[in-house]
Amino acid sequence: MKLIVDEFKIVLAKSTFNFSIETTNLNITSDRIKSSMINRYNTGITVLDIENKAITEMGEMEFVFNFLDPDQFLMPHLNLIDENEVTLKVLENKIQLFVGRQRQTVHFCTPQNKRMFHSEATLKSSEYFANLSLADGMFFEMWDKIKKIGTRYGKVYFNMKNGTFIIESTDKTNKFSNSMLFTLSKIDIDDLSLCFDFNDVANLMKIINMDFLLNFSYDSDHGLGLLHANKEDDSEHFFLMSKKE
């Protein structure tokens, strides 16, 4: 079998929400790679069912890869490989990578260390009050500026105010806080404010592109909301839960 290093790095980043989830579980066939994981704070969820571009020549074999903290224990090995295609050998509790004179061994973690997510169907069925296409790249331009301010506050808000949907970087718990905002769209619904952890949004923006939609829902009974980023071909879903101030 062959492992395509760059493609495998992409899978690892997406399955761990840009390495903010401490473990990853990859279910691999010759055609697809699937993964459903949640972070320790229950605020970030990743659900993948993507084409397998990372491992070739698998035939009818199927594998389950469980890695603990791949950013620390797997990515450094991958970063030391100079070729983009290496020979892959899968053993009972580890993988081995061969290229030239170089051989690297990475062990799997035990299944109980995984933080898997099993309720994606419930989240996908949420009703959304706003949908935002990223196809024109405008939101990424806004984010490039928002992120330079957001590190100061640790929060990103998606607000509805007087019929205008807004992304804002500030701290609403401090009436003297500075702020920066961009208007997103006009929507005729009641005013509301969704607060997300800055790092969660920053990690999301590193693993999505202009093929995605951003969808927003709100549960008025609990005063909390959901940001659902889904790829248009339905192969990748990322969920962020808002938080209380």
Instruction: With cut-offs at 50, 70 and 90, classify the pLDDT of residue 113.
Output: low
Domain-embedded: residue 118:
no
- Domain finish residue from 113, 142, 177: 113
Q: Are residues 79 and 138 in the same domain?
A: no
Instruction: With cut-offs at 50, 70 and 90, classify the pLDDT of residue 221.
Output: confident
The predicted structure's pLDDT at residue 42: 87
The predicted structure's pLDDT at residue 118: 58
Q: Are residues 189 and 146 in the same domain?
A: yes
Instruction: Write down the residue that tokens 């609990």 correspond to.
Output: 222
pLDDT in tens, 170-211: 999 998 999 999 999 999 888 999 999 999 999 999 999 999
Q: Is the pLDDT of residue 114 over 60?
A: no
Q: Are residues 84 and 169 in the same domain?
A: no
Q: What is the DSSP letter of 245?
A: -
Q: Is the pLDDT of residue 84 over 70?
A: yes
The Cα 225–Cα 244 span in angstroms is 10
pLDDT in tens, 22-33: 899 999 999 999
Weakest mean pLDDT among 5-9, 40-44, 85-89:
40-44
Q: Are residues 131 and 231 in the same domain?
A: yes
Q: Which two tokens stand for residue 22?
A: 């401490």
Q: Are residues 142 and 71 in the same domain?
A: no
Domain extent, residue 65, equals 2-113
**Which residue type, as a one-letter code, is found at position 119?**
S
Beta bridge partners of 85: 4
Mean pLDDT over 59-80 rounds to 95
Q: Are residues 168 and 135 in the same domain?
A: yes
Q: Are residues 237 and 130 in the same domain?
A: yes
- Domain finish residue from 64, 83, 113: 113
Domain-embedded: residue 120:
no
Q: Is the pLDDT of residue 156 over 70?
A: yes
- Domain finish residue from 113, 144, 159: 113
Instruction: Write down the residue that tokens 């509301």 correspond to.
Output: 192
Q: What is the DSSP letter of 113?
A: G
Q: Are residues 94 and 141 in the same domain?
A: no
Q: Are residues 75 and 102 in the same domain?
A: yes
| CATH code where residue 150 lies | 3.10.150.10
Total domain count, the chain: 2
160 Ramachandran zone, left/alpha/beta (phi>0; psi -120 to 50):
beta
Domain-embedded: residue 121:
no
Domain-embedded: residue 173:
yes
Predicted TM-score (pTM) of this structure: 0.92
Q: Is the pLDDT of residue 61 over 90?
A: yes
Q: Are residues 13 and 98 in the same domain?
A: yes
